[in-house]
Amino acid sequence: MKAKQSAEPKYEFIQPRDGIHNIYANHVNAMWTAHDVRITFGELVKLTESVSKSPRVFTVEDRVAVTMAWTEAKLMNNMLPEILASFESKNGEIKLPVVP
């Protein structure tokens, strides 16, 4: 008698030889096509205050861009609310800052 195979696939994750690159980001931007979405993560590295009629300038250094298929973006969209809810249940609501 054959044993039934489990319906859920097993995933094996392989670390790159150089390791996973950790990137800090406090700025996110996105663009898309009919086929995929590209999310660019950057870090605010300089803030120039406004002078007379010149506006305030935020200088963001792009750190990494991730391009993914729309199906992966949809899966990420489903995953993020669960992650945020889990964090907030333990640490309280995350309040979005007001930029002065």
Q: Which residues have C-beta within 8 Å of that of residue 17, sequence separation ≥ 6?
A: none
DSSP H or E segment with residue 57: strand 57-69
pLDDT at position 66, please? 96
Q: How far apart are CA 72 and CA 68, in angstroms?
A: 6
Which residues on neighbouring strands pair with residue 36, listed in sequence order?
69
Which of 68, 43, 72, 37 has the alpha carbon at shortest distance from 58? 43
Q: How far apart are CA 60 and CA 49, in angstroms?
A: 15
pLDDT at position 31, please? 97
Q: How far apart are CA 42 and CA 98, in angstroms?
A: 19
pLDDT at position 3, please? 62
Predicted TM-score of the model (pTM): 0.72
Instruction: Give per-residue pLDDT as tens, 8-63.
Output: 888 898 988 998 888 999 999 999 999 999 999 999 999 888 888 888 898 999 99
Tokens read off for 33: 């096509």
Instruction: Give per-residue pLDDT as tens, 64-88.
Output: 999 999 999 999 999 999 999 999 9
